[in-house]
Structure 1
Amino acid sequence: MADVKCNHCHLVFDEKVMIKEGELNFCCKGCQGVYHILKDDGLDSFYEKLGNKTIAPPIEVEDDVERFDTKSFEDTFIKTTENGYNKIDLIIEGIHCAACVWLNEKVLFETEGIISADINFTNNKAKIVWDNEKIKLSQIILKIRSIGYNAYAYDSTVADEQAAKSKRDYFIRMMVAVFASVNIMMLSVAKYTGFFTGIDEQIREYIHIAELVFTTPVLFYSGWIFFRGAYYGLRNRVLNMDFLVSSGATLTYIYSLYVLFGGKGESYFDSVTMIITFVLVGKYLEVIGKKSAVDTLDKIKSSIPLEATVVKDGVKKAIALNNIELGDIIEIRSGEKVCIDGKIISGEGTFDESSLTGESVPVFKKMGDTIYSGTINNDALIRYETTKTYKDSTLNSIVTLLEDSLSSKPEIEYKANEVSKGFTVSILSLSLLTFLVWYFFGLDLGFDYENTNHFEKSFIVAISVIVIACPCALALATPIASLIGISELAKKGLLFKEAKFIETMAKANTLVMDKTGTITKGELKVKKARILDDNIHKLNLLYSLLDASSHPISKSVKKYLLKKYDNLELKNIIDVKNIQAKGMVAKYTNVDDKLFHIIGGNMELIKDNRINYNFESQNSVYIFAINRRVIATFELADEIREDAKELVENLKAEGLDIVMLTGDNESVAKNVASKVGIKKVVSNIDPIGKANYIKKLREEGKIVVMAGDGINDSVALASSDVSIAMGNSADITISVSDIVLLNSSLKSLNFAFMISKRTYKFIKENLLLSLIYNMITIPLAMAGFVIPLVAALSMSLSSLLVVANSMRIKLKG
């Protein structure tokens, strides 16, 4: 019986085992089913994209998919988006090409209940968002399996183990190559010495055989990673750096075999070995360079304990973090790390928060205070109640954020990758052109064209062109600098959600800052109080209105009242309304059914309610009135951050326009702005007005960075090119901001601009270095001034030069 190709997977099978369906042939019922699924869903264009490539038949997995819907699996791997949808990272097995990615994304996108599906072809990692009320995760997994692939949850621990295994494999291959290179160089010394002093032909042949013995494992074992990379590149119609290395080494190896078995000329087994060895060593050193860049992430990960001591019914028990629930009581001793966020219910002491904020000064915590995962209890036995699960804890959120940012790409990297794609084709064309010119129009025009020595010279010059060209330096220029930049930013307490924000910040020309909590400390204090009517019933209404608000001014006035009066009571006020950027209004009915209209806020609110009262101050003002009669006024001041003026001066020197936006009155705003050196001030503006102001700046062509508290300014933050959430880790604003400051120091914001500019500068330097290197070395190789051995060394040095230059990001200045 003849062999027949399956119409789905394109694999060839004996005709007698095939399932016949008219003119169609299938190797199994799985392929037959998938074929009809694609046909029925209008996705049969997949086979046009697949071309002649083959894929694996549908996977038959015995695993029970119901485990994907269990509570333990959900707690460990599934997150919730702002819109209430479920989100997970999956690894999809069986993806070999762009057509596989297209098919999976297409099928998932058209499945009801799936909101988005984004698959990264380089690591087969899929980010999937779905509506759990319409479809379960187990159904999504079955859908993926139904078209011939398998999926399982991405686990960073497993990924780290795989990365370590890959690194060990890399190291072994490199050491095999180094060992062979050392030996083959000794043989080469003997061969080249004999070339000048005279060497017996038989001895020369033995040397060639010994070189073959050492070269073969180097090419086919150590160099296997280049062949594999070239193979997958070709399958996806991409000619990459691996193709240049593998093709150059293979052609040289074949020519050397020809010489060994009787052809005229010199063998170049030593060049083959050196090409593979030099590039492998260079690649391994790149790995070491990248590792130093992600050490910050490893350091943060190591701050998370594996289990905690949970107290239940007076019994202490060690429980894994994933099994700890909201409301559990955890006990930590002196010197232990906090594993999950919570509030202290017993004990007090100092905590080292340097792993989060970078501040070395311990922070005192008492009953009712919040403590954060990753911090260290310095000196007391503490019990606290968990307010988050492990998955949502501060430190785990930081780790997740860093992992995502290290895998993201800035815009300039996409442009560099586009350039490098066409680079390889150009080099191969130049190599062929070089060979033809040297062979037919070379320096030895009187040579007999059938003379092997002339062919040899043309061939080796062409090989040198292939080997010396280095698209890897071009491709490496951006990611290595981005990795180092992100790790340096993390050390300063700055977490970038994506690497692309480094480029945006470097190009930014406008910084918009909120006043309270950003330029100032956000700790308002009553500096002067004027109680016009100290009737306790009226003060109780003031206290009740203040208690209904979460605004910093209301909190500060409430705190002042509680210190001064010890007999205040909360009243049942009704119709409480918040007037944005102005204050609050409410009503109260006493036992005699008498209605009171109560108002508390700034002068704008007083004027809006037609209350005849004038009050001017350089400070923030809170005025309380009942039935249009002012009862009390409070003047509040907020201390300016010590490093605010230095930040403004530094950023002005860098050419940035700085604008302060605030809902506070003009007098207060200008007073604060003048003290720190900000000239552009927009006051009396509500959150929507802030957002519209930023949109207007962007329409004028400005690249805007917005720094605010991440909650009240969320609309404005979302409108900017880059949003920065100020404050320490108590304010978890990761979901609304592009960059999170883990400490309250404006020095971190200064570092964000400084390191972003340095990183972007070095990215451009790296790209320039790689381009200059290729512009100089490729013509030299074409002119015949470089042998393959030197070309391989030069190629590796160019990549290492890019890595070394990127390391300079860590240097100050």
Structure 2
Amino acid sequence: MKRLCDHCHLEYEEEALFSEEIEGQKRYFCCKGCQGVYHLLRSSGLENFYEKVGDRKLAPPKENFLESSRFDSEAFGRKYVKEEEGMRRISLILEGIHCAACVWLNEKVLYQREGVIEVSINYTNNKASILWDPQRIKLSEIIDSIRSIGYDAYPYDPRLQEERANSERREYYTRMVVGIFCTMNIMWIAVAQYAGYFSGMDATVRHILNFASFVLCTPALFYSGWIFYRGAYFGLKHGFVTMDLLVASGATLAYLYSIYAALSGIGETYFESVTMIITFVLIGKFLEVKGKKSAVDALDSLNSQIPEAVIVVRGEERISLAPEEVEIGEVVEILPGERLALDGMLLSSKALMDESALSGESLPIQKSMGEMLLSGAINLQYAVQYRVSKSLNDSLLSSIIRLVEDSLGKKPQIEKRANELSRRFSTTILSLALLTFALWYGAIEAGFERSLVVAISVIVIACPCALALATPIASLVGLTESIKKKLLFKEARFLETMAKANLLLVDKTGTLTLGRPQVVREQQWGEMDRSLWLSLVQKSTHPVSVGVASYLKMQGITGIREFLEFEQIDSKGLRGVLEEGEILGGSLEFLREHGVALGGYEPSERTLFAVAFQGALRGVLELEDPLKPHAKESLEGIRAQGIEVVMLTGDHFAIAAKVAQTLEISEFHAAMNPLEKADFVEKMRQRGRVVVMAGDGINDALALSKSDIAVAMGQGTDVAIAVSDVVVLDDSLLALQEAFSLSHRTYRFIKQNIALSLTYNALTIPLAAMGYVIPLVAAASMSFSSLLVVGNSLRIKKG
């Protein structure tokens, strides 16, 4: 004889279980773990958990958990735990969550523990956010509480979500491919059936075609359509009707009736309608799932910016440690080309840092002993040492990544028009179909078969294919067109959000400008072989030197001389020695330090590269970071669409003012750090503005993530592109203008499609309810409405 375990509800032979009498009733358990959890729930007053879980089977409690004390280690805390006003917060993934009852149980148990302040468990991804008082309870004790009721917990890490997102996308893709295959083949059979309906068909041939349709329809309904059955089940379980229920019920009724019609030879089969219903709506679902993968990729890309190891100097030893293991006050050595993981104070005499990803400045910055080094910067020359002043969790790069992660999680989801209507629409149609069946069967006394056919006609003709396709098909056409325009929208919904935007915030360096200094003016004094200038700057990779070298080559200067001596003085200039004498190139201050008389030359706001030979000033080149082609026309085109343009930059006021004046930008903000940019975005959104932010560096990443739509220029940093919603592949401002135009056009057609589908339903549902439309015509009509929506969406291409 077999019995169920009174905790996990798994079935065993009675002799394999052990029993215990509790309050006069014999209880059976499969293991000590289940017995312990049962007693724990009873002693905690949580025995109604078994009423909530019903007959669902649970996993017996694990016995071989990892040691929970590791959750209290300092290294673990630095990596996963956040401080909040004396409290601590952690995000955990709970293993073993099967249903809403499991969520209820975990929350109840944790809230009973003294020191647990807040518990929030997301059933969709099993992610738990827990806030606790470390003075009253340890994290390991919280983990033990979770494990005591048969579940397990491990720290949430965005990298671990990659596998889950990929798995979900593969599942949808496989189901969609099966549905498309079945639909394409069954439609060939349907053509023959439609022809036979009007011209006659031999019974044997008809039975063969019906059987072939049944074979193709069955996997489409129960494999591809399983997603809709699952969604309908969970919707009903939580007390509401979804479009999934309408799709599943309409397709199932049509499928069952078609089997009856095929076996009895009475009426027509509608297997092709079933496959079309499932496949068309599933394509829309797949487009949504692709968006989840983009968010996971963005977080993974951001986290990959933090180096996995740093070199810590302890006396004469150099030890490689994970950044979270480094203590404040320790000395870290950073080699040329490496990115800093931790903030700290420079101990070496000097360092040349590339902070372009943080500040947006295109030029490297010279750091002197005692100055602060920021995580995220790249060391360009020499091995340098610095003293760590902040832990990994508090350093700038980690702070930006953490805030971006939070912003991505809280980014508002724009509800499509079709989804806003679907719940009410689905409930209404199901109610109308039941009412129609009741009237025809009871009042009109038309018989069960006739009443069922009319009810199915109502459901099939109203099945929201056109409504479901209204947004994804128009979005798909818009996305296809965007690729042709060198634009990449990471999710279809961003087209709609961008169409509603009324404020564009733009970074300067790399967004409005090229991000590469170029010579705009040259002055010369006396005669000098300009190939010596080229020989000097060719020895350096500094952006100014690269800009000067490019300019000289464009002037047709050739010939490279070898120097007897060469020296590069960081952030100052270059020095070379030839047989003819010494040549210097760099800032005016650098030349002055070497005794070169500058005469009456007036300094400029531009970046200067002065050249001296044999102790005399020979020339000065003035460089600027030029505006991108068509920058002014593009911004004018964006403003013409009713969008205000504001510039945010980390550059100095004078440079920002000149760019703003040239581009006719009335409002700009200069010398802003990443947090100030993000705060500005947040303030604009609080005022009700729909904000688009365009940028290209880590300094823009936080502001990008805070905006409604984040646009990354194609030549920007990987971090900016990772957190963006839209990428301008060709780095052009004309493409940015086209992104707004295309979004407005696509959104206009989305609204037209929704209007078309609702108008179609308003006209055809009454006809079906009155019995004027048989399921065959209903299916054809439903297909026609879908084709109408598709055809209208294709008009997006015409502009």
Tell me the TM-score normalized by structure 2.
0.59
| 1:321-360 to 2 correspondences below 5 Å | 327-333=331-337, 338-342=339-343, 345=348, 348-349=351-352, 351=354, 353=356, 356=357, 359=360
Unaligned runs of 5+ in 1: 484-490, 493-498, 512-641, 659-675, 681-706, 744-751
1:449 matches 2:449: no
Contact 1:252/1:463 (8 A) holds in 2: no
1:135 positional shift: 1.6
1:221 positional shift: 2.0
SS of the residue corresponding to residue 383 of structure 2 reads strand
1:476 positional shift: 8.8
Select which of 181, 185, 188 maps to 2:187.
Answer: 185
Select which of 754, 767, 777 maps to 1:783.
Answer: 767
Match of 1:383 in 2: 383
> Residue deviations 1:498-551, cap 9 Å, x none?
x99x99x98999x9xxxxxxxxxxxxxxxxxxxxxxxxxxxxxxxxxxxxxxxx
Match of 2:178 in 1: 176
- Residues 720, 264 of structure 1: CA spacing in aligned structure 2 closer, same or farther, 3 A cutoff? closer
Match of 1:620 in 2: none
SS of the residue corresponding to residue 261 of structure 1 reads helix
1:164 positional shift: 0.9
> Residue deviations 1:121-170, cap 9 Å, x none?
22221111222232222211222233443322222122111111221222
Match of 2:305 in 1: 304
Distance (Å, rounded) in 2 between the aligned partners of 1:246 and 1:474: 19
**1:310 maps to amino acid:** I
- Residues 55, 89 of structure 1: CA spacing in aligned structure 2 closer, same or farther, 3 A cutoff? farther
Contact 1:331/1:382 (8 A) holds in 2: yes
SS of the residue corresponding to residue 367 of structure 1 reads strand
1:728 positional shift: 12
**2:366 maps to amino acid:** K
Contact 2:418/2:754 (8 A) holds in 1: no
1:153 matches 2:149: no
Match of 2:71 in 1: 68
> Residue deviations 1:657-712, cap 9 Å, x none?
99xxxxxxxxxxxxxxxxx99999xxxxxxxxxxxxxxxxxxxxxxxxxx998999
Match of 1:404 in 2: 406
1:63 positional shift: 1.0
Distance (Å, rounded) in 2 between the aligned partners of 1:657 and 1:201: 69
Unaligned runs of 5+ in 2: 480-486, 505-626, 628-632, 646-662, 717-735
| 1:109-120 to 2 correspondences below 5 Å | 109-120=111-122
Contact 1:476/1:799 (8 A) holds in 2: no
- Residues 184, 405 of structure 1: CA spacing in aligned structure 2 closer, same or farther, 3 A cutoff? same
| 1:634-713 to 2 correspondences below 5 Å | none
1:233 matches 2:230: no
Distance (Å, rounded) in 1 between the aligned partners of 2:191 and 2:178: 20
Match of 2:274 in 1: 272
Match of 1:32 in 2: 38
Distance (Å, rounded) in 2 between the aligned partners of 1:304 and 1:205: 63
SS of the residue corresponding to residue 119 of structure 1 reads strand
Distance (Å, rounded) in 2 between the aligned partners of 1:277 and 1:401: 39
Distance (Å, rounded) in 2 between the aligned partners of 1:222 and 1:419: 24
Distance (Å, rounded) in 1 between the aligned partners of 2:676 and 2:179: 60
- Residues 237, 800 of structure 1: CA spacing in aligned structure 2 closer, same or farther, 3 A cutoff? farther
Contact 1:91/1:125 (8 A) holds in 2: yes
**1:227 maps to amino acid:** Y
**1:331 maps to amino acid:** L
Contact 1:350/1:365 (8 A) holds in 2: yes
Distance (Å, rounded) in 2 between the aligned partners of 1:283 and 1:317: 50
Distance (Å, rounded) in 1 between the aligned partners of 2:296 and 2:791: 21
> Residue deviations 1:413-443, cap 9 Å, x none?
59997865444322311232344567789xx
1:457 positional shift: 4.1
| 1:478-493 to 2 correspondences below 5 Å | none
**1:108 maps to amino acid:** L
1:190 positional shift: 3.0
1:467 matches 2:473: no
- Residues 323, 474 of structure 1: CA spacing in aligned structure 2 closer, same or farther, 3 A cutoff? farther
- Residues 21, 262 of structure 1: CA spacing in aligned structure 2 closer, same or farther, 3 A cutoff? same
**2:408 maps to amino acid:** L
Contact 1:506/1:757 (8 A) holds in 2: no
Contact 2:92/2:154 (8 A) holds in 1: yes
Q: How many equivalent pairs are there? A: 638
> Residue deviations 1:372-419, cap 9 Å, x none?
4276x6xx4343556455544544444443343333353975999786
Match of 1:140 in 2: 142
SS of the residue corresponding to residue 93 of structure 2 reads strand
Distance (Å, rounded) in 2 between the aligned partners of 1:306 and 1:799: 50
- Residues 25, 358 of structure 1: CA spacing in aligned structure 2 closer, same or farther, 3 A cutoff? same
Distance (Å, rounded) in 2 between the aligned partners of 1:732 and 1:196: 65
Select which of 431, 434, 445 maps to 2:433.
Answer: 431
Match of 2:373 in 1: 370
**1:351 maps to amino acid:** D
Distance (Å, rounded) in 1 between the aligned partners of 2:182 and 2:643: 57
Contact 2:418/2:471 (8 A) holds in 1: yes
SS of the residue corresponding to residue 64 of structure 2 reads coil
**1:332 maps to amino acid:** P
- Residues 306, 721 of structure 1: CA spacing in aligned structure 2 closer, same or farther, 3 A cutoff? closer
Distance (Å, rounded) in 2 between the aligned partners of 1:427 and 1:712: 51
1:283 positional shift: 2.1
> Residue deviations 1:20-50, cap 9 Å, x none?
43358564414422432441xxx566567x2
1:773 matches 2:753: no
